[in-house]
Amino acid sequence: MLTTILSFIVVLGILIFIHEFGHYITAKLSDIRVEEFALGFGPKLISKQWGETVYSIRIIPLGGFCNMTGEFIPDEDDDSEDLKIYNEALKNGRCFHQKSILKRFAVIFMGPFMNFALAVLIFFLIFNFAGLPTSTLDQPIIGELDPSMPAAEAGLRPGDEIVEIENVQINSWESMAEKIHNSQKEPLDIVVNRKGERLQFKITPQYDEQMDINVIGIYPQVVRENIGFFKASRLSVVQSWQVFTLTIKGFIQIISSRSMEGIGGPVMIASIIGQAARNGIINVMNWMAIISINLGIINLLPLPALDGGRIFFIIIELFRGKPVDPQKEGFVHLIGFILLMILMVFIIYNDIVKNFF
């Protein structure tokens, strides 16, 4: 549990930081006043002001924000510090809404873009330093596990050698896979050798619709080839694009089927990252890249309060020739944020029910 919590906080913290840093650095380069750069929501745990910007870490580690002056125009009847800051920035041309369409688009888009760039970097590090998987060994020794599948949930680990399934001796990966694939989706008695100790597990295979077989989510040990800097660079982009397209297809399938089956929230992500952390740093990095791409895509959806929703208003302005009234846009984003929070509560509830009941 401690491994799961710590790895979840570290991974999510990196993803949120990279996303918000994209907004932050582009705003700074565009001479927009940044009032606060925050990781998390809710009450502040730590905060420090450097120059004109407050940097804070907040108690709920499920997001973050980069608060730029002029995103939301304060009430003119309000005699608060916020109005004074806004008027000073307005006088100096440093409000968000005073900047050109191109600059505002860049500030908003750079958050999701940094998530995509992070994924490319992570895949590059994996390919460049760990190598490219070129072939698998036929020994029935687990190389990697899918954290969301039955084998990982049951407690199998990389390095475990599967020696028996349903009292049948296993001598190769092929014979083991055949036994699992042809099972009747009932609990299997699986015996493994873990560093000389025999351990027994009951694991129920899960049906894979695409391959039309039953699986438990394990992969064989692989031989990795050193491929060099340039090939690793090219393959990292290819791998990121494949994950991107598969994620888009997954979203389309969820929408077309009107099912919540493939949707998960913080609890599911924490479970996946926790399992990955127990399976090695490469697994953690791989899932971090996948989640980073998912985060970038979700933020580009044209929904109020998300980056995609704000880009949508910029596109409307481009066609209208004039901006939407800032107060009206702010109200739309506020309603959108409230609805997103309600959706998040529902997803977390659904997560808890699926994982613990």
Residue 79 has pLDDT above 70, yes or no: no
pLDDT reported for residue 67: 93
| Three-class HEC string of the chain | CHHHHHHHHHHHHHHHHHHHHHHHHHHHHCCCCEEEEEEEEEEEEEEEEECCEEEEEEEEEEEEEEEECCCCCCCCCCCCHHHHHHHHHHHCCCCHHHCCHHHHHHHHHHHHHHHHHHHHHHHHHHHHHHCEEEEECCCCEEEEECCCCHHHHHCCCCCCEEEEECCEECCCHHHHHHHHHCCCCCCEEEEEEECCEEEEEEECCEEECCCCEEECCEEECEEEECCCHHHHHHHHHHHHHHHHHHHHHHHHHHHHHCCCCCCCCHHHHHHHHHHHHHCCHHHHHHHHHHHHHHHHHHHCCCCCCCHHHHHHHHHHHHHHCCCCCHHHHHHHHHHHHHHHHHHHHHHHHHHHHHHHC
Is the predicted pLDDT of residue 279 greater than 90, yes or no? no
- Confidence check: pLDDT of 241 > 90: yes
For residues 218-233, average pLDDT: 89
**Which pLDDT tens digit goes with each residue over 36-69?**
999 998 899 999 999 999 999 999 888 899 999 9
Does the pLDDT value for residue 263 go beyond 70? no
For 141-167, what is the mean pLDDT? 90
Give the residue with greater pLDDT, 272 vs 259: 272
Judged against a pLDDT cut of 80, whether residue 136 lies above it is answered with: no
Catalytic residues: 20
Mean pLDDT: which of 57-71, 263-277, 324-338 is highest? 57-71
What's the pLDDT score for residue 110? 97
User: What pLDDT shows up at residue 341?
Assistant: 80
Model confidence at 276: pLDDT above 90: no
Q: What is the mean pLDDT of residues 343-348?
A: 79
More confident residue, 257 or 160: 160
- DSSP annotation of 141 reads B
Taking only the tens place, the pLDDT of each residue in 95-125 is 998 999 999 999 999 999 999 999 999 999 9
Whole-number pLDDT of residue 149:
87
Average pLDDT, the chain: 88
pLDDT of 77 > 90? The answer is: no
pLDDT band for 146, please (50, 70, 90 cuts): confident
Average of per-residue pLDDT across 276-301: 89
* Domain regions of the chain by residue span: 101-131+229-357, 135-224
Architecture per CATH, 135-224: Roll (2.30)
Closest CA to 158 of 7, 10, 281: 281
Looking at residue 28, its pLDDT comes to: 96
- The larger pLDDT score, comparing residue 4 to residue 159, is at 159
Strands (E), the chain: 34-50, 53-68, 132-136, 142-145, 161-165, 168-169, 188-194, 197-203, 206-208, 213-215, 218-220, 222-225
On the question of pLDDT at 75 being above 90, the answer is no
Q: How confident is the model at residue 78 (pLDDT cuts 50, 70, 90)?
A: low
Q: Which amino acid is at 36?
A: E
pLDDT of residue 282: 87
Instruction: Give the mean pLDDT of 169-189.
Output: 89
- The reported pLDDT for the residue numbered 261 is 60
Span 253-260, mean pLDDT?
A: 71
> Which residue has 């351990």 as its token pair?
199
